[in-house]
Each structure stands twice: as structure tokens, then as C-alpha cells.
Structure 1
Amino acid sequence: MLRETLLGISRNDAVRRMITGFPPTDLLVRNFVAGDHLDDAIAAARRLVDEGLTVTLEHLAGETADRDQADQWTRRYLDLVDRLRKEKLATRAEVSIKPAAIGLELPDGDDVLENARVICIAARAAGTTVIADLEDHRAADETLALAEELRQDYPDTAVVVHSGLRRTESDCHDLAATRSRVRLVKGVHLEDEAIAYARPADVDKSYVRCLKILINGNGYPMIATHDKRLIRIAEALAVQAGRAPGDLEFQFLYGVGLPEQRRLLAAGHTVRIQLPYGSDWYGYLVRRFADRPGNLSLLARGLVRR
């Protein structure tokens, strides 16, 4: 019930205005978001890389209503790629793109592939890679098709899939056969029960089934979860499949799971941090609470300090 309530709040503009204007919120946000600006993200990425971690930078994007906005977002992604090159972080950090931000939902839909290609060209020249984010089931077909098209020329292009969606097991079979880089997440969006699993236990079971497919496939699994039980299962499956630590990676959201990150690093695994930045953090932050309601205690402590 709490999860559903929080996901509903994430789409409520009135609550958005109240929370974003509340002073203690800023302190809380900095636990999970690098900052509003690219400079903030680069500084945080540098600290994480110096600790032996790798990074995916995610510029938190709002809605794109027209071609001009899609072009603006494309330029922002290009600025990010260029900064990674200049700061010599490109080999340790990649760029997450939101297809909707660069034109996926525009009426003709033609711009998204062109814009994504421009970003991939720059990323290759800089020595970094791109991952296409998936927000919810409505964009699944288009996002997977975009990633497949990009992989023809940029085979390191990765894509996100959600174990909470009923379709994802089938998608994982397809992706594992194409040697794709795949970021497997649970997903924290409200969906119809015909489309998504309602019970958390069923989402977890789907996650394990998808893990088995990806780890035993030909691709590169990117295991994005803070659930220690699922991490242990992934480690065991990797051993059974004969995968060395460098043949997959574990991913965590910024500000979460530090002890587990250190344990995995000590075991020789690649550990990547999903590092968000930008002023449009509201929806992202509330979805993080929906995924991990225990994080609400941070807000409570912040309010008490005030």
C-alpha cells in the first residue's frame, strides 16, 4: 500500500510543488542525487572512480514536448560526454539517455534515432558508452527497438529491462542471444496487473528467472539491485555458469548499499553506481522511496534536525 501511495505521489504536481519548496528536502536529496548541475555530477563521479567504482551518469530529464526540447536534451547529453572526455573519466563512466527526452514520444518519432546516433558517435569518440533507459511498459517496444538499431553500429549500447513487467523474461531471451549489455532492474512504476506483477515476491521471482537467462546467455548482465538475497543468487549463478567476475557487473543507486559495494569490490567484481543529477529530481526521489520505504527515515531525521 505504501509503495502504491508513493508512486501516485510521484505524479502529483501539487505534492511536487510542496516538497520541492520545503527547505529540509534539499539535504535529503543530496543523499541520492549528486546535485543540480553537471559540475556536481562530475565531482561526484570523480570521487566514486577514485574509490574503485565505475559510474553511469543520469541527467534527470522532464517531459519533452517538441523537437526543440529534444534537440536541447541531445546537446545536454553531448555536453556530458564531452566533460567525461575532458576529465579523463570516459573509460570509467557511461551515459544513460532517456529516449523520451530526445524525441521518442514526439508525433513522428523520427528524431529519437538520429539524436541517439549523434550521442553514440560522440560517446565512441570519447571512449565511453551509452545505455538506453526504460521508464515504463508503454515505451518498452520502442526503447528495445532503438537499442537494437543502435547496436548495429555501436554494439556496446546497453538497455534497461524491468523484472516487474511480465514481458521481460521473453525480452531477456532475445537480448541474451544478441550478446547485449543488459541492466536488469525490478522497476518502480505503477502498471496494470495484466502487464506487471503486483506482488513484490513475484517481481523477485521474475528477477531470478531473468538472471538465469542473462547469466547463462551470451551477453553482459548488469545486475542492478540492492537486495542482498538476489545479489547472492546472482553470484551463485555466475559461478555455475563459469563467468569470471569481469563477465558481469553489479549496480547500485547513488547513496545506497555501501557495505555491499565494498564486499563485491573486494571479491573482484565490477561495481557501478547509477549517479543522477539535475534539478528535476522529484519523481526520481519519490520512486526511490517507493522502492525502499526505509529511506523515509532519512527525511524524518532531517525534519527533526530542523
Structure 2
Amino acid sequence: MHPLRPLILAAAESPRLKRALTGIPVTADIVRRFVAGETRDDLIEVAQALLHSGRMVSVDFLGENTTDRDQADATVAEYLSLINDLAALDRPVLPEIDAPPVEVSVKLSALGQALPVDGPAIATENLRILCTKAAQADVWVTVDAEDHTTTDATLATVRELRGEFPWLGAVVQAYLHRAEADCRELSGSGSRIRLCKGAYREPHEVAFQRASEVTDAYLRCLEVLMHGDGYPMVASHDPVPIIAAEQLVLETGRGPGRFEHQMLYGIRDAEQLRLAAAGKAVRVYVPYGSQWYGYLTRRLAERPANLMFFLRALVSKS
């Protein structure tokens, strides 16, 4: 593990540091490297450009840990409008790739999972509303992972709604000790699993801590998914999993339309374009909204080299 990772993740939980950073006028300009903007109009412009470059998109309206019902309802309304706008985008044809080029990613805590009364049930019903709208618009939905305390409730919701929406995607975080077992359970026919390394500060009792252990766990999970009957989504910027995915494609006979690479907006753009030019399905995870602080700090923790970029930009613009 990079020595800066625990410090950065601790910063993600610091209200004081959040107030300090979000109060700096130049911060918003710097954040745009990783976040499409604060408004849906900002997002739609970025998403259309990515589609025209031969890539697909997964859009996240930033927000999590909602404890207010009105806020959860507002998030649902925003996602419904977002799905409408994404459905209206010009979608260039991607040869041999049948997957919808537009998707939304959603955290159940933003839909009310943490509400004090009936939170999981409220989040499940809100997700059902979004999936119903998405199915009509030919837009995919994937449920994002959050910290390990939410995993059981989140996967329970996914299992419940997959009966109605078998294409509903879920995220597995490879650094969790349980990840390989989750991949085996969830990788059945028609399923979609986004496999990522993991972005939250987790105790050693539930998650691997060393980078080499996390990479090894990722590769084990990837092999399970590639040999399964579902649709793996290889969410990684690390060359090791990317190369391993291509090797497993050859072993399993998967065509370009039976899995995809996923990367974050603003990270390894040249590699995204290289893979897309080679005929691979590449989806870019694009966040937008004003609640960017938690997202940004987790991105810095995943790749601390981004922290130096962020700090240099702050100094140069101050």
C-alpha cells in the first residue's frame, strides 16, 4: 500500500479539510480533470464527446450517505432526468459491441439506504423506479459499491431486482476478503459485474491492505468472472489486470461484445483511446455534481500520483 493512501482516505472523512478545500476558488477548475462539472448540462457535453471518440459512458450523479428523504427523492428525480438526456444523445455505432453505450451508476446510500426508518426498502423501491425508466430508454444501470458495512444490503437489493431487470449491474471490490465468493455467486448467465480494486478505507479484518495482495485478489476474481456466464466489466487502470483480461479473453473465447474495459474520466485517457481503437469495448466512468469531495479524495488515494498533480495545480493557480 502506498504510504499516502491512509492519510488521503482519512482526509475524505474530515469535514474540516473538506470545508477548506471546497472553499478555495481555484479548486473547482482543478477538479474538472476528474469530474465532468456540477450541472447536467456540463455532463452531457462531456458524455457526447466521449461517445464520439468511440468510447461508452457510465454516469454517476455524485452524492452518498443521504439521511434525508427529500434529498433521496431529489436524487431520484435527477437520475430520471439524466436518463432522459442520455437517451437523447447521438450514439455512434460501435462494431461488434451490442452493449448500450450509455449507463448510469448509482449508490444506494444516495437513494435512501441509510434513512433511519426502512432505508433499504426505500432505496430498493427508488432503484426499481430508475431501472424501469432505464429499460424504456435503453440505458443500463449499475449499483455502485460503498464501504463494507453496506455490502450485504446492497447485494440483497441487486438480487431482488435482478428478477425484474436481469441486466442490472453490481460492483465487486476485489480487496474485500469476500470478493471471490461474491463473484462466483453473481456471475451467472446474463449478469453484469464491475470488478474494481476498492476505494474505501477498510480494516484488515475485511480487506487486503498490501497492493500486491489486492492485485492478486483482483486477478483471482477476474478469472472467476471471465470463466463465468455473465458480462465482466474490467474496471482498472493497472496494466497487469488489463493484460490479464486480454489473455483470459483468448482462453475463454469471449468476443469484444462479451466484456468491457472501464476506466475513470480523466485518468489514462490515451490508454482508453488505444483500447477503443483496437476494437475493445471501453466505458468511461464520468461523475458530475457538486458533491465531488469524497469522490475526488478516493481517486487520489487510488493513485497518489494524482495528489501531486492536484497540489501542483493548487500552488500554480494560487
Shift of residue 17, structure 1, vs aligned partner: 0.5
TM-score, structure 1 normalization: 0.96
The amino acid that maps onto 1:97 is V
Structure 1 Cα separation of the partners of residues 297 and 122 of structure 2: 30
The amino acid that maps onto 1:298 is F
2:45 equivalent in structure 1: 43
Shift of residue 69, structure 1, vs aligned partner: 2.1
Cα 1:154–1:230, aligned 2, differ >3 Å: closer, same or farther?
Answer: same
Which runs of structure 2 are paired with 1:88-107 in the superposition (5 Å)?
A: 88=90, 91-106=100-115, 107=117
Which runs of structure 2 are paired with 1:65-214 in the superposition (5 Å)?
A: 65-88=67-90, 91-106=100-115, 107-108=117-118, 109-214=120-225
1:224 equivalent in structure 2: 235
Shift of residue 144, structure 1, vs aligned partner: 1.0
Structure 1 Cα separation of the partners of residues 90 and 55 of structure 2: 15
Structure 2 Cα separation of the partners of residues 158 and 277 of structure 1: 20
Structure 1: where are the runs of 5+ without partners? none
**38-47 or 96-105: which moved more?**
96-105
Q: Secondary structure at the match of 1:245?
A: coil
Structure 1 Cα separation of the partners of residues 205 and 315 of structure 2: 42
Structure 1 Cα separation of the partners of residues 186 and 241 of structure 2: 21
- Conserved 8 A contact 2:54-2:277: no
Structure 2: where are the runs of 5+ without partners? 92-98
The CA deviation string for residues 133-157 of structure 1, in whole angstroms up to 9 with x for no partner, is: 1111111111111111111111111
- Conserved 8 A contact 2:59-2:103: yes
The amino acid that maps onto 1:93 is V
The amino acid that maps onto 2:183 is C
1:19 equivalent in structure 2: 21
1:238 aligns with 2:249: yes
Cα 1:234–1:202, aligned 2, differ >3 Å: closer, same or farther?
Answer: same
**254-263 or 5-14: which moved more?**
254-263
Cα 1:255–1:91, aligned 2, differ >3 Å: closer, same or farther?
Answer: same
The amino acid that maps onto 2:156 is A
Structure 1 Cα separation of the partners of residues 121 and 300 of structure 2: 35
TM-score, structure 2 normalization: 0.93
The CA deviation string for residues 199-255 of structure 1, in whole angstroms up to 9 with x for no partner, is: 111110000000000000000000000001210011101111111122100000001
Aligned pair count reads: 306
RMSD: 1.4
The amino acid that maps onto 1:25 is T
Structure 1 Cα separation of the partners of residues 316 and 188 of structure 2: 52
1:289 equivalent in structure 2: 300
Structure 1 Cα separation of the partners of residues 282 and 58 of structure 2: 11
